[in-house]
Amino acid sequence: MRNILLLLEHKQNRNLLSQLLQQVGYEVIYPSPDDDLSNLHNSFDLCILGPVALDKFSDWVKATKKAEEPVFLPFLFITSRSDVKMITRGLWKTIDELITNPIEKVELQVRIEALLQRRELSLKLKDANEHLHNLNELKSRFISVASHEFRNPLHVILAYAQILYRGGEKLNSEKKKEFFTRIKSSAKKMNDTLDDVLILTKGELTLQKLNLQFLNLQEFCRLLVAEIKVGSAANQEINFTIQGQSKKAYFDENLLRHILTNLLTNAIKYSPLGTKVDFDLIIQDTKIIFEIKDAGIGIPLKDQSSLFESFRRASNVGKIPGTGLGLAIVKQSVDLHGGTIEVDSEVGIGTTFTVILPLIKGVDENS
Ligand code: ATP
Ligand code: MG
């Protein structure tokens, strides 16, 4: 926040002023006379200029100020007393402050500080505005998801509760049990969704420290795949393969579970019955690669970059239910683990998610 661009015609003045400014802690930039000023955009917080420069670059000054809006980019004009008289009112549209020669060091510093403070304030305001805007968008997405995702299970709960209340005596115990189970699973669904919302909004994942455990990856993944298969209504095929030497390594089990469960359930959910999901675990010396590949509906290119934000869903999901929270949780978990995630997808062909996590090796118990 303290870069000052000097556009002064006299070399001597420029050197003097530059020294003075550096003494009080500012960074000083001064281009040589035939430098292209357009390259300097974004590299300074305040520009000090003299009459010749103002005359020569007044269009550039206006354009540069405009380009930074709503952030305030100050221009301070240095002139001799005699010049001041010639200054027309219009000048105030271009410059923000004026100081006359001979320059009083303290006065100059006070003016510079006042201008820089105004700039800083406008920067903060812009940030605050953006933050509010993002929150507002998040809120709208949350409301739209909540109304979708809660309405269905709520209807189910209300309907079965009503049936049980009205005609409970006439129902045999088998039927009653079935209805209670439906109520329970709908309530569980809402509860799971709320859990996801809380994980993300309370920043539980971002604040959490890694809880590393010495895991047998192969075993862990095998069990997880089995669990997911049982949990998926269609009992869809997951083709699990392992490449590389099996190793025990340090992982946060909870995070790993978040990552793989979400990616695998997505792969199943977004592909038609009868297609296969490939899950490849590739163990290398310094990293672990998880590749989850499906032959499902794919993700339109324009949606791919925003999928890792909360409540974001692609435009082609149709009636497939979901909250758009899973991948946000996956992304935070991958980040916490110091890894990366990438998506490669084509609509109608399928999707591959690739997660790479650094390998934190312990004593290899297999050797
Ligand atoms: P949930 O919170 O229940 O997981 P969701 O599955 O909609 O809901 P995410 O897991 O965050 O949410 O995924 C975000 C979006 O990314 C999905 O809504 C879908 O549009 C798209 N998507 C994710 N994985 C796949 C996939 N394997 N194939 C096609 N689209 C996918
Ligand atoms: Mg999901």
What's the token pair of residue 336?
């916490």
- Mean per-residue pLDDT for 56-75? 92
Report the separation in Å between the CA atom of 222 and the middle of ligand 1, taken as the mean of its atom positions.
23
Q: How far is CA 186 from CA 151, 179, 182, 339, in A?
A: 10, 11, 6, 35
Q: Report the share of the chain in percent with pLDDT over 90.
A: 53
Could you tell me which residue, 367 or 296, shows the higher pLDDT? 296
Nearest to 74 by CA among 20, 34, 121, 27: 121
Mean of pLDDT over the chain? 88
Q: Helix (H, G, I), strand (E, B), or coil: what is residue 89?
A: helix
Residue 367, pLDDT > 50, answer no
Ligand approaching nearest to the C-alpha of 325: 1
Per DSSP (E only), the strands in the chain are 3-7, 27-29, 46-49, 75-80, 97-101, 212-216, 238-243, 248-252, 277-283, 287-294, 340-346, 350-358, 360-361
Of the ranges 103-112, 181-190, 341-350, the best mean pLDDT one? 341-350
Per-residue pLDDT of 231-263, as tens digits, reads 776 667 899 999 988 778 888 998 999 999 999
Distance from the CA of 141 to the center of ligand 2, in angstroms? 16
d(CA 224, CA 259): 11
Ligand 1 in reach of 297 Cβ (< 6 A): yes
Residue 312 · residue 305 · CB < 8 Å = no
Q: Is any ligand 1 atom within 6 A of the Cβ of residue 18? A: no
* Nearest ligand atom owner, CA of 320: 1
Is any atom of ligand 1 closer than 6 Å to the C-beta of 299? yes
Return the structure tokens found at 163. Answer: 């049936």
Question: What's the rounded Cα separation, in Å, for the pair 272 and 257?
Answer: 24
Which element (helix H / strand E) includes 201?
helix 173-201
What are the tens digits of pLDDT across the range 21-49? 999 899 999 887 667 777 777 889 999 99
Please give the distance, rounded to the nearest whole angstrom, from the Cα atom of residue 338 to the centre of ligand 1: 22
Which ligand has its closest atom nearest to the C-alpha of 322? Answer: 1
